[in-house]
Structure 1
């Protein structure tokens, strides 16, 4: 990583190329590029030219602001990377998220926002700069997504170099503009957000080069891949998804992948997602492939099964396979294991142990074979949902039909498990109590979905009911 060093106010020079962890504290600039001829390049700094370019003011500002913050070094993408060196460019793009994450300060320069700007269309009694802030081009560019999310300290400046605030003080406004959850803006690990959710953050952002739509997301998903400019945007996104799959499910996930299907699960037509519970489930089940278990408990009919369905749908890209088992009683559970075995064999006909089992014969043998397949090395990214565990084996449960779920769990300590039950006494994993929906907004959302009437949440549409 090559930095700029502040020598005297307004004077700076390129440093040596820092390698490894031997990098001093530095500030970093986030901005939208102007025309190429306006930006100061690496070559300009080497030759001592570029001071007459419009982009020079941004570099000078970054250095001066860094000095005010007690930082002797800073980094600007236009001139700290030798883009004529393909190897250096490859390394820089694959390292960009980390560089922004490690910066002591990130200064966002908004060239199209001014505190003095007036907007005659202001009907919301907002400060004029907020309207311009919402419309800033910076929020529409692909590369600025990681520049917003990665650093801990992000400060926003107008084109007049006036500070609006920081990521913390403006987090609600930024959330409204970008749709990025506040938790992500506050530094929650990105792995706790599903692949589809993170993809959605970038959905409407644009890049000058089509391939950069994918390359700008490498750090968001924690993956690396070679850059092939000219391959086209679609091919770049395909390669990105392949790398994401390998990172999430393991390099050999294709050896264990099973097509996602919930065809045997009953779903209600209008489900109001419980966002807090879903977030807690995702945080608990996120990990490196070692065993993670969530127990959803609550009254019958309160929505435990539908919550598990919603989680599976939203996070299906995080798993190599998702299996659903009815654990209402032992016969139902064993039949579920037989169906699961058929699913696996359809896509992996030679699956270890399963291929030699008579699925219509001894159910106990089928259960053991499925458990063995789920326990194979590298098969760590599956999700098992044990639904309706309402007659659990407990010390005070004398029902002869009691069921001990532990006999039906894979023996290796890997994979993810969701259990739904009415009992709060199931002590197998992280418990999440599912309560009644009692908020007015939740009730209106249910009514709006069921009646297919929009606007009820905002107080509209009631005269027609």
Structure 2
């Protein structure tokens, strides 16, 4: 059965069928389009210091330790002694030595800043699912790091008080009640650098 309807002299249409039953008002959005994975790059918010002064064997020791599988190191000291400059120089040297290495930087003075940095990382490496408002961004980045075929260096900057990494985060629709430290993986061939 077909119904016809006329709307003035210039408008004429045909209804080709009749809907029986409830109308489903849900909209099915197309699945998120797969993006071409980007090539590894250095993603840090600081330029290299052209006036950096190498501190003898300290930078060599950082490089040597970070070259070990599953490495985690911490730079600890009073403010202003040059921890950031060491971390920045190490990041650039790592990238120079291996163009296949992802070099990533996260502000980690508190949970909110770390979450924003993980969003930035997810955008840069184009992690599938990052645009879902219900996504656990910590888990997405964690899983990407664990599954990465390329080596990576992650610098956690300004971890003046690491207690927020050890405490269970409040459970919500986006995160499980797990300590954030569990989202900082050990991964074969990957170096992870804690900077305080």
- Once the two structures are TM-superposed, the CA of residue 324 in structure 1 deviates from its matched residue by 0.3
Of 385, 392, 397, the residue aligned with 2:162 is: 392
- CA RMSD in angstroms comes to 2.9
- Residue segments in structure 1 that go unaligned for 5+ positions in a row: 1-254, 346-353, 399-403, 422-465
- Once the two structures are TM-superposed, the CA of residue 405 in structure 1 deviates from its matched residue by 5.3
Of 338, 355, 358, the residue aligned with 2:128 is: 355
CA contact (8 A) 1:256 1:320 kept: no
CA contact (8 A) 2:138 2:183 kept: yes
- Once the two structures are TM-superposed, the CA of residue 320 in structure 1 deviates from its matched residue by 2.0
Within-5 A mapping of 1:259-408: 259-262=41-44, 264-265=45-46, 270-287=51-68, 290-316=69-95, 317-318=97-98, 319-345=100-126, 354-358=127-131, 361-362=133-134, 365-376=136-147, 378-379=149-150, 381-393=151-163, 406-408=181-183
Q: Distance in 1 between matches of 2:114 and 2:154?
A: 12
Which whole-Å deviations, capped at 9, do the CAs of 1:193-246 have from their partners, x for residues lacking one?
Answer: xxxxxxxxxxxxxxxxxxxxxxxxxxxxxxxxxxxxxxxxxxxxxxxxxxxxxx
Seen in structure 2, the aligned counterparts of structure 1 residues 414 and 269 have a Cα distance that, compared at 3 Å, is closer
Seen in structure 2, the aligned counterparts of structure 1 residues 413 and 320 have a Cα distance that, compared at 3 Å, is closer
- Once the two structures are TM-superposed, the CA of residue 267 in structure 1 deviates from its matched residue by 6.0
Q: Which structure has the larger Rg?
A: 1
What number of residue pairs does the alignment pair up?
A: 147
2:190 equivalent to 1:419: no
CA contact (8 A) 2:49 2:89 kept: no
Higher relative contact order (CA 8 A, sep 6+): 2
CA contact (8 A) 1:358 1:366 kept: no
CA contact (8 A) 2:70 2:186 kept: no
Q: Which has the higher helix share?
A: 1
CA contact (8 A) 1:375 1:414 kept: no
Q: Distance in 2 between matches of 1:313 and 1:411?
A: 22
